Structure 1
Amino acid sequence: MKAKNIGKTIEKKLNEVGVFTLADLAEITPKVAYKKICENYPNTTIPKCYYLYSLQGALLDLDWRELPENIKSELLEK
């Protein structure tokens, strides 16, 4: 998957939960993808600021650090 914020590590973890394209990610939402990744790695801390924001940023074609604060807040509330 060629997208901002999606390197080999995140791509591998996304593939493990059935996400292979940006369309797949949009369909299940970054929140659900993040939760599934966390479920696959129960003994590992998966940082929200990197994974959750990176997934949303990939859909918006933005670097995760450039996500507007309101979007970050919405992601954390869900």
Structure 2
Amino acid sequence: MGTEQSELLQLKNLGMASVNILRAIGVSTYSDLQELGAVGAYLRIKDRDINVSKVMLYALQGALMDVHWNDLDPQLKSELVAEAEKLATENA
């Protein structure tokens, strides 16, 4: 396993399946994920027709914040979903 892959695996909420999905969209490091942001990464995953739920969006945000996705503030979860829906509509 490469250093980049193990870096992502060290993040909260991300297992091998999530890391493989991230690598498929060009995210190989924490910095890549940080630059793209949780919403950007989530939308890029959806654009690749990879079937993921909103939990993936929460997991990505939690990984960036070093928080388990289930512990994210409900208001933040709502804001993430709203932002993702807005951007998806704008880019459709």
Normalised by the length of structure 2, the TM-score is 0.76
Distance 1:61 1:21 in 2: 15
Query: How many angstroms does 1:45 deviate by?
Result: 3.4
Query: How many angstroms does 1:73 deviate by?
Result: 1.2
Match in the other structure for 2:52: 46
Match of 2:69 among 58, 64, 67: 64
Distance 2:62 2:12 in 1: 7
- In the alignment, structure 1 segments of 5+ residues that lack a partner are none
Distance 1:45 1:22 in 2: 22
Please give the residue correspondences for 1:12-31 in structure 2 after superposition, counting only pairs within 5 Å: 12-31=20-39
Higher helix share: 2
Aligned structure 1 segments of 4 or more residues deviating by more than 3 angstroms: none
Query: What whole-Å deviation, never above 9, does each CA across 1:23-78 have from its counterpart, x for those lacking one?
Result: 1111011111111111112xx53101x20000000011011000011211110110
- Structure 1 counterpart of 2:66, one-letter code: D
CA RMSD, aligned part only?
Answer: 1.1
Q: Which has the larger radius of gyration?
A: 2
Distance 2:73 2:31 in 1: 22
Distance 1:67 1:13 in 2: 22
Secondary structure of 2:11's aligned partner: coil
Match in the other structure for 1:73: 78
- In the alignment, structure 2 segments of 5+ residues that lack a partner are 1-7, 84-92
- Aligned pair count? 75
Normalised by the length of structure 1, the TM-score is 0.89
Higher RCO (CA < 8 A, seq sep 6+): 1
